[in-house]
Every structure is written in structure tokens, then in C-alpha cells.
Amino acid sequence: MSKVTKLLHTRYRVNDLERTIKFYRNVLGLEEIRRHKSPRGSELVFLKASGSEEQVEICCFPAAGPVQVQADLTHLAFEVDNLEEFGKHLAQHGLKYSDGPTTTSPGTVFAFIDAPEGYEIELIQKGKSGH
């Protein structure tokens, strides 16, 4: 039976490429891996978190029209060591959590921030049990 073997990347299309890349680099700490123009003319930037193989592909393709992200459509989730400390880091960038922090019964804590274009980012501090 054929099956996929690995998640490689997730793509989000945006209106303002440089503003979005700045957010992912400076606020989330992702590393820009590469950027190029696709054969159809999309500007593409690939980023990744230091502890992950999976990448986030940010795409800007104005010919497709403006991006309008509806509420609760999709989000990316990233692990952080300490949500309280990350909240202080956000404040240094003039940002704050849009929802949470919320603690689950196993002790995991999660919160959300809004990225440019309205995409949500979930931040997860795993509990002592690892869940």
C-alpha cells in the first residue's frame, strides 16, 4: 500500500510578504531557509523552527487577489519552553496573547497569538507528562 512518509511543509498565502516574514523571524524565532519565485510568479519563503524538520512556506501571489482569513479557519502550533516568559517576549514586540494561557488537566498550557493576515499561532508549553 502506498502512503505518505513525512510532512514537509505547510503553506500560507499572505498579502504582505516582508511584514509576515519579519513576524515569523523576530517574534517566533523561525529561521529563513530559502526564498525564490515559483514558475507562476509566486514569491515563496520557507522557514523552520530550530527543533523541527517541517517547514512553513509563506507565499505572496497578488494575482490571486487579496488574502482574507476567516476566523478559526486554521492555525500553526509551536512548542515553547515557558509561556509566561514568551508572553514577556511578545510584550517587547508590542504584542499579547489573543486567547489564554489556558491550562489543561495534564498540566499542558496553551495560548494563541494573531500573526499578520489574521492567521492564528498556537503556543504550547507541555506539561510534566509530555502531553
15-19, 58-62, 69-73, 127-131: the lowest-pLDDT one: 127-131
Half-sphere exposure of 22 (CA within 13 A, CB side): 7
The DSSP code for 93 is: T
pLDDT at residue 106 is higher than 90: no
C-alpha cell read off for 120:
492564528
What DSSP assignment string belongs to 24-36?
IIIIT-PEEEEEE
Same domain, yes or no: 42 and 76: no
CA 43 to chain centre: 18
Which domain CATH number covers 80?
3.10.180.10
Catalytic residue among 43, 79, 85, 122: 122
Domain count, the chain: 2
Same domain, yes or no: 119 and 75: yes
Same domain, yes or no: 104 and 47: no
Alpha helices in 26-69 (DSSP H): none
End-of-domain residue from the set 38, 62, 86: 62
First-to-last alpha carbon distance for the chain, in angstroms, is 31
Same domain, yes or no: 50 and 77: no
Give the separation between CA 19 and CA 21, rounded to whole angstroms.
6
For residue 77, the one-letter residue type is A
What's the domain range around 79? 71-131
- CA proximity to 38, closest of 48, 46, 30, 50: 46
Q: Is residue 122 flagged as an active site residue? A: yes
Same domain, yes or no: 100 and 119: yes
Same domain, yes or no: 82 and 34: no
pTM of the model: 0.90
Instruction: Please calculate the CA angle 99-101-107 and round it to the nearest 5 degrees.
Output: 140
pLDDT tens column, 21-79:
999 999 999 999 999 999 999 999 999 999 999 999 999 999 999 999 988 889 999 99
Same domain, yes or no: 84 and 27: no
